[in-house]
């Protein structure tokens, strides 16, 4: 169990990191406090959650400054230094460039998982349906008492569900995958979820 001293310290870090975005708004400050509380409940812990958010912001900043096309196209998810890139781009060059820029953004990154899809148009086929699929899966996980849903991040692109996070057990991960597969419109499920006991886990 993490010490109370540690848990008191991390929300402050999160609030300070978010300070430029808050602009004195009380509502946003309350939201940041709630986010810190959620992070503390995650398997990765509040400190890793805060560091992951920092990595995500650094990658976003790198893309914004050097390649605004990719900045608009990419979705970035970070779990314990493992970066998942999802979205749709028009060329293999753009796909490779996304990997390069992500790695260059921070020396705390342990892995870059590039799941960017390449299409001739570089556009999503049905973003509304993808959002619906993600919403349906999130609801299924939240109502399944055998799943700690807070430990899973979900991205859906053109009917493909991408999962990343930390599972309590193989059985839990299997339940998550099965929930995903039965949703209407899902073409496939790609999991980058690790077990919480995985020896490859490293703090960020």
Query: Mean pLDDT throughout 79-106?
Result: 97
Continuous segment of H or E residues that includes residue 134: helix 127-143
Residue 147 lies in a domain: yes
Residue 123 lies in a domain: yes
Global confidence as pTM? 0.81
Residue 92 lies in a domain: yes
Residue 9 lies in a domain: no
Residue 136 lies in a domain: yes
Q: Which domain holds residue 94?
A: 67-204
What pLDDT was estimated at residue 122? 61
> What token pair was written down for 175?
């339940």
Query: Mean pLDDT throughout 45-73?
Result: 97
Residue 203 lies in a domain: yes
From residue 122, alpha-carbon distances to 60, 72, 94, 95, 125 in Å are 19, 11, 10, 11, 9
Residue 104 lies in a domain: yes
The pLDDT tens digits of the residues spanning 171-204 come to: 999 999 999 999 999 999 999 999 999 999 998 8
Residue 30 lies in a domain: no
Tokens 């995500």 map to which residue? 56
> What token pair was written down for 191?
């999991």
Q: Which of 120, 117, 142, 121 is nearest to 130 (CA)?
A: 117
Q: How far is CA 143 from the centre of its chain?
A: 20
Q: Domain tally for the chain? A: 1
The pLDDT tens digits of the residues spanning 69-88 come to: 999 999 999 999 999 999 99
């Amino acid at each position: 169990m993490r010490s109370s001293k540690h848990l008191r310290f991390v929300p402050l870090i999160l609030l300070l990191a978010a300070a430029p975005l808050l602009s004195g708004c009380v509502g946003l400050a309350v939201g940041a406090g709630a986010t810190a509380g959620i992070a503390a409940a995650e398997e990765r812990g509040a400190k890793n959650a805060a560091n992951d958010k920092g990595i995500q912001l650094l990658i976003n900043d790198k893309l914004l400054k050097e390649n605004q096309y990719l900045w608009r196209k990419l979705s970035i998810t970070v779990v314990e230094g493992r970066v998942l890139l999802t979205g749709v781009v028009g060329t293999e060059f753009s796909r490779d460039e996304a990997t390069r820029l992500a790695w260059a953004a921070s020396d705390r990154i342990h892995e870059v998982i590039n799941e960017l899809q390449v299409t001739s148009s570089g556009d999503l086929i049905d973003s509304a349906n993808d959002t619906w699929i993600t919403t349906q899966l999130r609801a299924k996980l939240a109502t399944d008492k055998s799943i700690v849903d807070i430990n899973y991040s979900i991205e859906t692109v053109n009917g493909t569900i991408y999962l990343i996070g930390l599972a309590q057990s193989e059985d839990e991960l299997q339940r998550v995958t099965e929930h995903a597969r039965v949703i209407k419109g899902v073409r496939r499920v790609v999991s980058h979820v690790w077990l919480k006991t995985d020896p490859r886990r490293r703090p960020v």
